[in-house]
């Protein structure tokens, strides 16, 4: 799996079909979509328009809330594949655990079956807390390859990261730039950016990479797409990582215990 990917949340089909060839030309090879984003058709179109082969891309999609359950998740994956116009996914994630519905273990069983049947190369989860992970691992014996969680310097997710490290789970960071908001204007991030002549977004992406986290920043702008990939020519010192992590707690994460996705 590439160490950095392209997010697509909020892109329409039309926009995704335009942006992905540009991103591919710049060097992006991993694309993150979801049934919930309603842009899988555009993502598929963009990949075909890029002129690269299917095998050169790493495509992630996710099980929608309404598709939880054994049979529904399998049908949901078939529909995702049809919309993308491909016959396999590189990574398929359960988008949210939605513990109130209590169907995430069956949904995980469906994911296991999808791997066995060749529709999906690897499987993981998103927004799972350690207690949800304990349950799927305990009931199926299979550890997810990835947990994609809300993670940036204001929400550092120590507990989920420690769990992931212990179990060999790769952590992907969603909203790695804090959605491009005031995180990027934080004085501590600005100070580090000045030291390396990099932008604050580049410093925040480097903060993820230095810690083995896989960020999937979204941009629809050629300049920002290029900048977000231009983060492999500098390193942050340990004390700079620590300083930036001091922002932890200044934003509340979404709550996977209560979040319901249609
Ligand atoms: N699993 C989940 O539950 C979940 C939830 C949310 C998101 N995700 C995934 O994670 C991806 C990333 O998260 P996100 O889209 O919420 O937030 P993000 O990547 O942290 O930020 C995206 C925002 O930042 C702006 N931006 C991008 N690069 C920038 C730069 N270099 N400088 C300044 N602004 C910049 C973008 O605007 P422009 O487009 O105008 O550049 C956009 O408004 C999503 O697209 C989606 O694929 C997953």
Report if residue 250 sits inside a domain: no
Tokens standing for residue 167? 């179990």
Do 164 and 147 touch, CB atoms closer than 8 A?
Answer: yes
Report if residue 71 sits inside a domain: yes
The pLDDT value recorded for residue 262 is 84
pLDDT band, very low/low/confident/very high, at 57 (cuts 50, 70, 90): very high
Q: How many domains does the chain contain in total?
A: 1
Out of 126, 177, 186, give the residue to mutate to test ligand 1, the one with the largest number of ligand atoms within 8 Å of its CB: 177
Ligand 1 centroid to Cα of residue 177, in Å, is 6
Q: Find the angle CA(242)-CA(187)-CA(180) to the nearest 5 degrees.
A: 90
CA dihedral of residues 193, 196, 202, 206 (deg, nearest 10): -110
Q: Is 181's C-beta closer than 6 angstroms to any atom of ligand 1? A: no
| Statement: residue 42 has pLDDT above 90 | yes
Mean pLDDT computed over 49-76: 98
247-250 CB contacts, 8 Å cutoff, 24+ apart: 247/153, 247/154, 247/183, 247/186, 247/188, 247/189, 248/153, 248/154, 248/155, 248/156, 248/158, 249/154, 250/154
- For residue 181, give the ligand 1 atom closest to its CA: 24
CATH number at residue 70: 3.20.20.100
Is-catalytic flag, 37? Answer: yes
Out of 32, 65, 91, 174, give the residue to mutate to test ligand 1, the one with the largest number of ligand atoms within 8 Å of its CB: 174
- What percentage of the chain has pLDDT greater than the value 70? 100
Q: Is 183's C-beta closer than 6 angstroms to any atom of ligand 1? A: no
Please state whether the predicted TM-score (pTM) of the whole model is above 0.95: yes
Do 248 and 154 touch, CB atoms closer than 8 A?
Answer: yes
pLDDT tens digits for 127-142?
999 999 999 999 999 9
Parent domain of 71:
6-245
pLDDT band, very low/low/confident/very high, at 116 (cuts 50, 70, 90): very high
| Statement: residue 169 has pLDDT above 90 | yes
Helix (H, G, I), strand (E, B) or coil at 255: coil
Report if residue 86 sits inside a domain: yes
Specify the DSSP element, H or E, that contains 61: strand 58-63
Report if residue 254 sits inside a domain: no
Report if residue 257 sits inside a domain: no
- For residue 8, give the ligand 1 atom closest to its CA: 45
pLDDT band, very low/low/confident/very high, at 98 (cuts 50, 70, 90): very high
Tokens standing for residue 97? 């655990």
Do 6 and 23 touch, CB atoms closer than 8 A?
Answer: yes
The pLDDT value recorded for residue 196 is 98
The pLDDT value recorded for residue 105 is 98
Report if residue 259 sits inside a domain: no
Q: Is 86's C-beta closer than 6 angstroms to any atom of ligand 1? A: no
Report if residue 261 sits inside a domain: no
The pLDDT value recorded for residue 43 is 98
């Amino acid at each position: 799996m590439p160490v950095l990917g392209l997010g697509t949340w909020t892109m329409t089909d039309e926009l995704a079909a335009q942006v992905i060839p540009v991103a591919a030309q710049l060097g992006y090879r991993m694309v993150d979509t979801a049934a919930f984003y309603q842009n899988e058709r555009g993502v598929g179109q963009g990949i075909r328009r890029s002129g690269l082969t299917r095998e050169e891309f790493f495509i992630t999609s996710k099980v929608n809330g309404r598709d939880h359950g054994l049979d529904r998740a399998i049908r949901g994956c078939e529909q995702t594949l049809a919309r993308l116009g491909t016959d396999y996914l590189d990574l398929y994630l359960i988008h949210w655990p939605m513990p109130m519905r209590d169907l995430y273990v069956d949904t995980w069983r469906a994911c296991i079956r999808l791997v066995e049947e060749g529709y999906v190369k690897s499987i993981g989860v998103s927004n799972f807390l350690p207690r949800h992970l304990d349950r799927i691992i305990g009931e199926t014996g299979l550890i997810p390859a990835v947990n994609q969680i809300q993670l940036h310097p204001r929400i550092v997710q120590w507990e989920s990261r420690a769990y992931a490290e212990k179990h060999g789970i790769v952590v992907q960071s969603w909203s790695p730039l804090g959605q491009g908001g005031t995180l990027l204007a934080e004085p501590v991030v600005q100070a580090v950016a000045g030291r390396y002549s990099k932008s604050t977004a580049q410093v925040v992406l480097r903060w993820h990479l230095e810690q083995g986290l896989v960020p999937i920043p979204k941009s629809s702008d050629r300049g920002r797409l290029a900048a977000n990939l231009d983060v492999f020519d500098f390193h942050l010192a340990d004390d700079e990582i620590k300083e930036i992590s001091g922002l932890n707690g200044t934003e509340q994460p979404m709550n996977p215990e209560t979040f319901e996705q249609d």
